[in-house]
């Protein structure tokens, strides 16, 4: 089951630890989030295709939120992916995890 984010414009303008979500693009495999600050860009993807929970010994199916800059990711349930605030908070966690490498 592929995920469908109906209103990606809800993300545009949101702040993620001082980074502004400038654009959300869609390609056949994922949604791409471009975060901008001071001329720099961070890129996140939400993979559209579900990952079967059973293949990962999980009780529920999940989707991947990937932080391109450091090739790290978080697994999110369908309800989490559809919650803009939750997605933004997960982006914050990933950015904070690698903040020491950005200096």
Residue 1, in any domain of the structure: no
Q: How far apart are CA 57 and CA 37, in angstroms?
A: 38
- Helix (H/G/I), strand (E/B), else coil: 79: helix
Q: Is the pTM of this model over 0.85?
A: yes
What domain range includes position 19? 8-102
Residue 78, in any domain of the structure: yes
Number of domains in the chain: 1
pLDDT in tens, 46-103: 999 999 988 888 899 999 999 988 889 999 999 999 899 999 999 999 999 988 887 6
Residue 81, in any domain of the structure: yes
Residue 2, in any domain of the structure: no
Residue 56, in any domain of the structure: yes
Residue 46, in any domain of the structure: yes
Task: Give the 3-state secondary structure percentages of the chain, helix then strand then coil, rounded to 5.
Answer: 30, 40, 30
Residue 77, in any domain of the structure: yes
pLDDT in tens, 43-53: 999 999 999 98
As beta bridge partners, residue 44 has: 33, 67
Residue 64, in any domain of the structure: yes
As beta bridge partners, residue 37 has: 40
pLDDT in tens, 17-33: 999 999 999 999 999 99
């Amino acid at each position: 089951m592929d995920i469908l984010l109906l209103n990606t414009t809800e993300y545009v303008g949101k702040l993620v630890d001082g980074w502004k979500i400038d654009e959300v693009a869609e390609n056949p495999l994922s949604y791409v989030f471009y975060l901008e600050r001071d001329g720099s860009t961070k890129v996140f993807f939400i993979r559209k295709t579900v990952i079967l929970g059973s293949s990962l010994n999980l009780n529920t199916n999940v989707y991947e939120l990937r932080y391109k800059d450091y090739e790290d990711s978080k697994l999110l349930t369908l309800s989490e992916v559809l919650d803009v605030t939750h997605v933004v908070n997960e982006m914050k966690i990933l950015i904070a995890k690698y903040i020491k490498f950005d200096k």
